C-alpha cells in the first residue's frame, strides 16, 4: 500500500509507508489510520478485513484495536461495534481482523457522502501498528468483493449466505469460547463476534458453564464469567443453550463431588443443589432458554446399561437415580426452560439408542420432566449413514420429544475407519470441501425431514472455525495435526462450502457436491 492513507485522531503524528504497508504510532486512544472510499457506496453489511501486525511495545501495553467505518461529514456516524482484543496479537505476527458494517441505523447506504475506513488503537496504547492489507467485501455477492487501497488482497470463497439464522425457524447455534480459550474468547475476539452475530441466534458455552466452572468448591458458585457471556449474547439478540448441568467427564466434576465420602442421599442432595442453584440463577437473569441437564450418562461399551464408571453413578449408591433427580430439580427451579438429555453416538449405536428410548419411556411413565434429547453429532463424512441418523431421531420424535442437534461437526478424516491411516487426507482440497458441503446439507435435510417443526430444538455447530476445533487435540490418531476441518468457517473466518451446504438444506435446495 503506497498511497491514500492518513493519520486519524487527535494528536496523531501521521502515518508512514514502508515495505510492509502503512504504520502509525499508537501513542494514545483513538489514534489510527484511515483511507477513503468514494460515494456512492453501499457499505451496509460489508465486511472489512485487515491484516495487521503490531510491535512488541503495543502488545505489552495491553492495548486493543478497533477497526471501523465512518461516514465523512454530517454526523460522522460510524460502525463502532468491532473490536480486536490484545490477546489476538503476537508481536511481529500478521493477524487478520474483521469488522462487519452493521450500524444500527443502517446509515451506510451512501449515495452522497464518502466513507472512511480504518483502525484505531484503544485502551492507553503505545507502540506501532502496521496495516498490511485491507479488503472490503460488499454484501452477499462474491463478485462484488472489491479490494480497496490494497496491494495484497486475495479473493476468498463466499457461500453467499447473508445470515444462516435468518434461514431457519428454529435456533441456529454455535459453541463459543470465553476465558477457557482466551484467543477465541467471544467477548474480545472481533472475528468471533462478527461471524457469530451474523449467522447464529443461539450460543453454547464450550466450557465455562460446566460443573467445575460454576461450582468449583461446595457451596461456592462462580457466575462472573458465565454472566458476562450471557449478557453479551442477550445484547446481540442471541439466546443461550446451557451446557451442561451434570457431566461425569473427570476434569469437569468438582473435586468435592469426585471425592464424596458422605452418604448417597447427601450426594443426591448436593446434585440437586448444583442443578437448582444454577437453573434458578439463570431463570432470574434470563437469556438461557434450554439446558443439557445430564450429559453422556449412557454406556458406550456396554450400551444397554447406564454408565457405571462415573462419580455420579457410584456416589449415588451405584444407581442412575441422579439422572431423574437432576431433571426434577431443574424443572422445580424453572417451569419454562427446555430440558434436554444430551449424548453422543445415539445416532449410530443401536443398543445405546435403545437404552435411551427405554429411559425416555420410563421417565414419561413416571412423569419425570424431560422435553427433549440432544444429539451431539460429532460425525464423519462417511459415518454414520443418514438412514441411521434419521432412524434414531425418529425414535425420539415418536416419544413426542424435541430433537436438538447440539454439537455438530463433520470431521474430514475418520481415524476409526478400516483404511486408517492409509486413508488419511492431508490437504483440504476443493473436492473434499464440496463433499463436506453435501454432507452438511444431507444432515440438516435429514433433521428437517425427520423432526416436525414443533419438535425442532435447533442445530448447533461445535465451534466457529476449523482453527479452534476440539478434534485436533482430542483425536489422538491425528497426532496433533489439524486435519479434521470440521466446521463452517476456515481458520481465517472465511466461509467454507459447508456453510453453503447447511444453507442449501434450510432453503430446500438439492444437496450437491458441485
Ligand atoms: O470442546 C470441549 C473442549 O474444549 C473441552 O476440553 C472438553 C472437555 O471439557 O469438552 C469439549 O466439549 C465436549 C462437550 O462438552 C460434551 N460433548 C463432547 C464435546 C467434545 O469433547
Please report, for the domain that includes residue 248, its CATH number: 3.20.20.80
- State in Å, rounded, how far the first CA of the chain is from the last one: 36
Closest by CA to 433, choosing from 77, 237, 157, is 157
Mutate to test the pocket of ligand 1, among 207, 209, 245, 463 (most ligand atoms within 8 A of CB): 207
Taken in order 16, 17, 18, 23, the sign of the CA dihedral is: positive
Is residue 441 one of the residues assigned to a domain?
Answer: no
| SS (HEC) of 311-357 | HHHHHCCCCCHHHHHHHHHHHHHCCCCEEEEEECCCCCCHHHHHHHH
Q: Could you say which of 97, 118, 139 is where a domain stops?
A: 139
> From CA 50, how far away is CA 105, in angstroms rounded?
24
For residue range 445-501, what is the model confidence (pLDDT) as tens digits? 999 999 999 999 999 999 999 999 999 999 999 999 999 999 999 999 999 999 999
For residue range 437-447, what is the model confidence (pLDDT) as tens digits? 999 999 999 99
126 and 207 fall within a common domain: no
Q: Could you say which of 123, 139, 155 is where a domain stops?
A: 139
Rama region for 503: left / alpha / beta (φ>0; ψ in -120 to 50; rest): alpha
133 and 209 fall within a common domain: no
Cα–ligand 1 centroid distance for 175 (angstroms): 10
E strand or H helix that includes residue 239: strand 239-242
209 and 352 fall within a common domain: yes
**Ligand 1 binding pocket includes 470 (Cβ within 6 Å):** yes
Flag whether 509 is marked binding. no
Is residue 77 one of the residues assigned to a domain?
Answer: yes
For residue range 99-146, what is the model confidence (pLDDT) as tens digits? 888 876 778 888 888 899 999 998 889 999 999 988 888 875 433 333
Is residue 438 one of the residues assigned to a domain?
Answer: no
For residue range 184-242, what is the model confidence (pLDDT) as tens digits? 999 999 999 999 999 999 999 999 999 999 999 999 999 999 999 999 999 999 999 99
Flag whether 8 is marked binding. yes
29 and 108 fall within a common domain: yes
302 and 214 fall within a common domain: yes
**pTM of the entire structure?**
0.73
Residue 84 has pLDDT above 90, yes or no: no
218 and 122 fall within a common domain: no
What is the per-residue pLDDT for 57? 94
Contact assessment for residue 122 and residue 66, using Cβ atoms and an 8 Å cutoff: yes
Cβ contacts of 443 within 8 Å, gap of 6 or more: 377, 379, 386, 389, 405, 408, 410, 505
129 and 224 fall within a common domain: no
Is residue 118 one of the residues assigned to a domain?
Answer: yes
Backbone angles phi, psi at 345, to 5 degrees: 65, 0
> From CA 291, how far away is CA 107, in angstroms rounded?
39
Q: What is the DSSP letter of 432?
A: H
Residue 22: CATH number of its domain: 2.60.120.260
Domain of residue 60: give its range: 5-139
- Residues tagged active-site: 407
122 and 243 fall within a common domain: no
Is residue 298 one of the residues assigned to a domain?
Answer: yes
- Entry field: residues in the chain: 514
How many other C-beta atoms lie within 10 A of the C-beta of residue 25? 21
133 and 205 fall within a common domain: no
Is residue 74 one of the residues assigned to a domain?
Answer: yes
Cα–ligand 1 centroid distance for 56 (angstroms): 34
How many other C-beta atoms lie within 10 A of the C-beta of residue 214? 22
133 and 40 fall within a common domain: yes
134 and 270 fall within a common domain: no
Is residue 424 one of the residues assigned to a domain?
Answer: no
68 and 209 fall within a common domain: no
Is residue 315 one of the residues assigned to a domain?
Answer: yes
Flag whether 70 is marked binding. yes
Total domains in the chain come to 2
Amino acid at each position: 500500500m503506497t498511497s491514500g492513507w492518513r493519520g486519524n485522531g487527535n494528536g496523531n503524528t501521521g502515518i508512514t509507508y514502508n515495505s510492509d504497508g502503512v504504520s502509525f504510532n499508537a501513542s494514545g486512544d483513538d489514534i489510527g489510520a484511515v483511507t477513503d472510499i468514494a460515494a456512492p457506496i453501499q457499505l451496509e453489511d460489508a465486511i472489512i478485513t485487515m491484516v495487521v501486525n503490531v510491535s512488541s511495545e503495543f502488545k505489552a501495553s495491553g492495548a486493543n484495536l478497533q477497526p471501523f467505518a465512518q461516514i465523512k461529514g454530517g454526523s460522522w456516524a460510524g460502525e463502532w461495534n468491532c473490536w480486536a482484543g490484545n490477546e489476538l496479537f503476537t508481536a511481529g505476527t500478521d493477524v487478520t481482523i474483521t469488522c462487519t458494517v452493521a450500524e444500527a441505523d443502517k446509515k451506510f447506504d451512501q449515495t452522497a457522502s464518502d466513507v472512511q475506513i480504518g483502525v484505531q488503537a484503544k485502551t492507553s496504547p503505545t507502540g506501532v501498528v502496521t496495516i498490511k492489507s485491507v479488503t472490503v467485501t460488499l454484501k452477499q455477492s462474491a463478485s462484488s468483493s472489491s479490494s480497496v487501497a490494497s496491494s495484497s488482497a486475495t479473493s476468498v470463497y463466499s457461500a453467499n449466505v447473508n445470515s444462516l439464522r435468518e434461514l431457519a425457524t428454529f435456533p441456529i447455534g454455535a459453541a463459543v469460547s470465553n476465558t477457557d480459550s482466551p484467543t477465541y474468547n467471544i467477548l474480545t475476539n472481533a472475528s468471533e463476534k462478527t461471524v457469530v452475530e451474523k449467522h447464529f441466534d443461539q450460543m453454547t458455552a464450550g466450557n465455562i458453564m460446566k460443573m467445575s466452572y460454576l461450582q468449583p468448591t461446595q457451596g461456592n458458585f462462580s457466575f462472573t464469567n458465565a454472566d458476562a457471556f450471557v449478557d453479551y449474547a442477550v445484547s446481540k439478540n442471541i439466546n443461550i443453550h446451557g451446557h451442561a448441568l451434570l457431566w461425569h467427564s473427570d476434569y469437569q466434576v468438582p473435586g468435592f463431588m469426585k471425592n464424596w465420602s458422605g452418604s448417597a442421599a447427601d450426594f443426591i442432595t448436593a446434585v440437586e443443589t448444583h442443578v437448582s442453584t444454577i437453573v434458578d440463577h439463570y431463570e432470574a437473569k434470563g437469556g438461557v432458554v434450554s439446558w443439557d441437564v445430564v450429559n453422556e450418562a449412557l454406556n458406550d461399551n456396554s450400551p444397554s446399561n447406564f454408565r457405571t464408571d462415573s462419580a455420579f453413578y457410584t456416589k449415588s449408591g451405584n444407581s442412575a437415580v441422579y439422572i431423574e433427580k437432576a431433571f426434577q430439580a431443574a424443572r422445580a427451579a424453572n417451569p419454562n426452560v427446555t430440558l434436554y438429555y444430551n449424548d453422543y453416538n445415539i445416532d449410530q449405536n443401536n443398543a445405546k439408542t435403545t437404552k435411551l428410548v427405554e429411559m425416555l419411556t420410563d421417565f414419561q411413565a413416571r412423569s419425570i420432566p424431560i422435553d427433549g434429547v440432544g444429539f451431539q453429532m460429532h460425525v464423519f463424512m462417511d459415518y454414520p449413514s443418514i438412514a441411521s441418523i434419521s432412524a434414531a431421531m425418529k425414535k425420539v420424535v415418536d416419544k413426542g420429544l424435541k430433537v436438538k442437534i447440539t454439537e455438530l461437526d463433520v470431521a474430514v478424516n475418520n481415524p476409526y475407519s478400516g483404511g486408517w491411516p492409509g486413508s488419511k487426507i492431508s490437504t483440504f482440497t476443493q473436492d473434499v470441501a464440496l463433499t463436506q458441503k453435501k454432507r452438511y446439507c444431507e444432515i440438516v435435510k435429514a433433521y428437517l425431514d425427520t423432526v416436525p417443526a414443533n419438535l425442532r430444538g435447533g442445530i448447533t455447530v461445535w465451534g466457529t472455525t476449523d482453527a479452534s476445533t476440539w478434534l485436533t487435540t482430542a483425536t489422538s490418531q491425528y497426532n496433533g495435526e489439524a486435519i479434521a476441518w470440521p466446521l463452517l468457517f476456515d481458520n481465517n473466518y472465511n466461509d467454507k462450502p459447508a456453510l453453503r451446504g447447511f444453507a442449501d438444506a434450510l432453503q430446500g435446495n438439492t444437496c450437491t457436491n458441485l
